[in-house]
Structure 1
């Protein structure tokens, strides 16, 4: 294996062991199928007892690793556009050696007719590099969502040939995403596909633009502002159902009610909540970690905020103790919100858990279908409920532009009548 690949692999292992699982714990429960020649001076592959017995370890292709945690899974490591090491699961523990070798064969090169290949060519092109930085970030987000999106064929959308993309397929994709309560996201991806295929047609990568003529999702003109009674009912429901065992009928993620509280109190986006760590805990309050250029602020401690924060740390610490996971020394390495395996909760996992929870709440008649709202609407409710002047709300929200207050502050000002004089009252 080249030296660069060897270094990347070691950096990848370090990245995994830096998580709460710890180096010793990870080594005991997870085995990496090492490429040939990486096992020491003898040049032989080191035997790993955790690898499934039906796999001949001496014939394993290089660059494929086995994670023995849970039910076990095979994965690849690669670097993204920002040169960050990423991991992609490629098969479960039942995969055969032939299947793993086929995966390794396809790893080094995308099929030239696939959506992923078209997207890779577009993002490497000069036309893409000339786009504004924010547009490039937006397109990179769209690309990742699309090429990793699962399909009924058992492979991600990015592996499908571009010739299989028809307007009907793109329309179903848009409709499905919009039906999850995210029409803006659906339209975002639709605009990206239109641009991507138009670029591909002009440069000979594809023959048609299947996104052209597809109906956009209908976005809500009225920005949702959930009623306080609705928020309270959902928070209580999430708290009660979060106490049920995982997998039990009617259960929901135990962290959902905490995320709701922090999003409302601190006026945070979902991604900003799940990336909170112990380092954001200060003597004065919670130091926010806002995105999209917003200014950070410190939300002062008060009983409701303290209760939510302490509940999150108790849940996390109990989970780490139950799994015998070591506690990272640095506060910034201790995530506040964790998944069932003890690792930091991912935004995609939070979104999925939220949609399941909302569907459960509607089915249980906790709320009506027209009362459903997104996590982001809790930030809007928190800004609207902030007392004080418009400047006070601007400081609390972290927005740099007063124009953004029209999006988030839906309160109605109380103003005096014509000719009002304070001294006359």
Structure 2
């Protein structure tokens, strides 16, 4: 439904009311002692008036009356989640985090309860730690501990936001025991990884729109990510500024230390291929070349702009599905973009200290996550 024309200032409305924030279709009748009323269309399509309340109510009470008429329960979990998702604290999050929060919200709101209502319709002020723990435990016992852990993190974040803004008086999700998530530390086989990169190189040379064609950047994104031990987001944010005479200057996230990865023929070939494809796209699209090297991204999309992380993930998943369909790898051998970093760290020559220095991790315990190699040691005695 289209919005009506913008409200004009009404001097008869009480001064404590912000007229710009009035609910839609709510009006003030100044005659007599004054009252608030709404206009609506009845079943016959005729406009009717219904009085709401006296003139001395607050703006928040007006909104509550309208919400009650529309069946909106301000005490419910569903209402709290809706308000959180409209807040700056939610909209300023990254797209992947927003998607994860939306998924977790749907899991919680649709969760069935013994009252015959979904969890989203229950009053959030009556939630207790014991209730939340039972729900999280049941979701985990259904064979989905990761879903339960994500739902708990979302609920804890949402209720803390609500507590800080007066929606609830406490955060009962705080201190709840999180389920142990299954660790997914995949290490692709060297032959499988090489075959996938070759397959991506081959399919990337097909013209866009041809059957089986994939994004031309996939093969060298995988190569650079593996050789430099980079995350996907770190690879696609490399620029000409990261190209040094000695090698590639990394741009690691999450507090890891940067280093310079020395040039090898293999790394040089992947880097130069990325620049060639980028320059061809810019020339074909007549894109202006940025003057500053830190603005010239190495990996670009088909339009010539900076490639997004979601775009990379989508293209990689399409490649994996096609590779499985064409028997390049099996479903059991499937792995993700982040596993190129794990494979690169595992394949780094040297001891654990050498691998930690090459990966940039400050904490030695991260080698338990990324170094899946088996050390070769001497026996205890000759």
Q: Give the TM-score normalised by the residue count of structure 2.
A: 0.62
Query: Pairwise CA RMSD of aligned residues?
Result: 3.9
**1:398-423: CA deviation from partner (whole Å, max 9, x where unpaired):** 01111111111111111111135xxx
Matched, 1:417 2:361: no
Matched, 1:310 2:272: yes
Which residue of 291, 295, 313 corresponds with 2:257? 295
- Alignment partner, residue 291 of structure 2: 329
Residue aligned with 2:327, SS:
coil
Length, aligned pairs only: 272
Give the superposition deviation at 1:167.
2.5
Looking at structure 1, the residues matched to 254 and 311 of structure 2 have their Cα atoms a distance apart, in angstroms, of 21
- Alignment partner, residue 96 of structure 2: 145
Which residue of 310, 314, 319 corresponds with 2:281? 319
Cα 1:146–1:384 change in 2 (3 A) is closer
In 2, are the aligned partners of 1:280 and 1:286 still within 8 Å (CA)?
A: yes
Matched, 1:283 2:283: no
Which residue of 290, 295, 319 corresponds with 1:357? 319
Which residue of 158, 165, 187 corresponds with 2:109? 165
In 2, are the aligned partners of 1:316 and 1:338 still within 8 Å (CA)?
A: yes
Cα 1:222–1:123 change in 2 (3 A) is closer
**1:2-401 paired onto structure 2 within 5 Å:** 113=79, 115=81, 117-119=83-85, 121=87, 123=89, 141=93, 144-145=95-96, 147=98, 165-167=109-111, 189-199=150-160, 205=167, 220-221=182-183, 223-401=185-363
Residue aligned with 1:286, SS:
strand
Looking at structure 2, the residues matched to 217 and 362 of structure 1 have their Cα atoms a distance apart, in angstroms, of 32
In 1, are the aligned partners of 2:200 and 2:214 still within 8 Å (CA)?
A: yes
Structure 1: gaps (5+ residues): 1-58, 60-110, 125-138, 150-155, 171-182, 421-425
Give the superposition deviation at 1:274.
0.5
Q: Give the TM-score normalised by the residue count of structure 1.
A: 0.56
- Alignment partner, residue 139 of structure 2: none
In 2, are the aligned partners of 1:226 and 1:377 still within 8 Å (CA)?
A: yes
Looking at structure 2, the residues matched to 188 and 249 of structure 1 have their Cα atoms a distance apart, in angstroms, of 40
Looking at structure 2, the residues matched to 157 and 223 of structure 1 have their Cα atoms a distance apart, in angstroms, of 26
Looking at structure 1, the residues matched to 251 and 181 of structure 2 have their Cα atoms a distance apart, in angstroms, of 28
Give the superposition deviation at 1:163.
12
Structure 2: gaps (5+ residues): 6-71, 113-117, 120-144
Give the superposition deviation at 1:141.
4.3
Looking at structure 1, the residues matched to 339 and 193 of structure 2 have their Cα atoms a distance apart, in angstroms, of 10
- Alignment partner, residue 29 of structure 2: none
Residue aligned with 1:360, SS:
helix
Residue aligned with 2:261, SS:
strand
Looking at structure 1, the residues matched to 349 and 97 of structure 2 have their Cα atoms a distance apart, in angstroms, of 41
In 2, are the aligned partners of 1:119 and 1:196 still within 8 Å (CA)?
A: no
Looking at structure 2, the residues matched to 332 and 346 of structure 1 have their Cα atoms a distance apart, in angstroms, of 17
**1:328-386: CA deviation from partner (whole Å, max 9, x where unpaired):** 11110100000011001011111111111111111122111010001111111111111
Looking at structure 1, the residues matched to 358 and 323 of structure 2 have their Cα atoms a distance apart, in angstroms, of 30
In 1, are the aligned partners of 2:226 and 2:341 still within 8 Å (CA)?
A: yes
- Alignment partner, residue 22 of structure 2: none
In 2, are the aligned partners of 1:264 and 1:381 still within 8 Å (CA)?
A: yes
Looking at structure 2, the residues matched to 345 and 163 of structure 1 have their Cα atoms a distance apart, in angstroms, of 31
Cα 1:162–1:368 change in 2 (3 A) is closer
Which residue of 351, 354, 366 corresponds with 1:404? 366
Larger Rg: 2
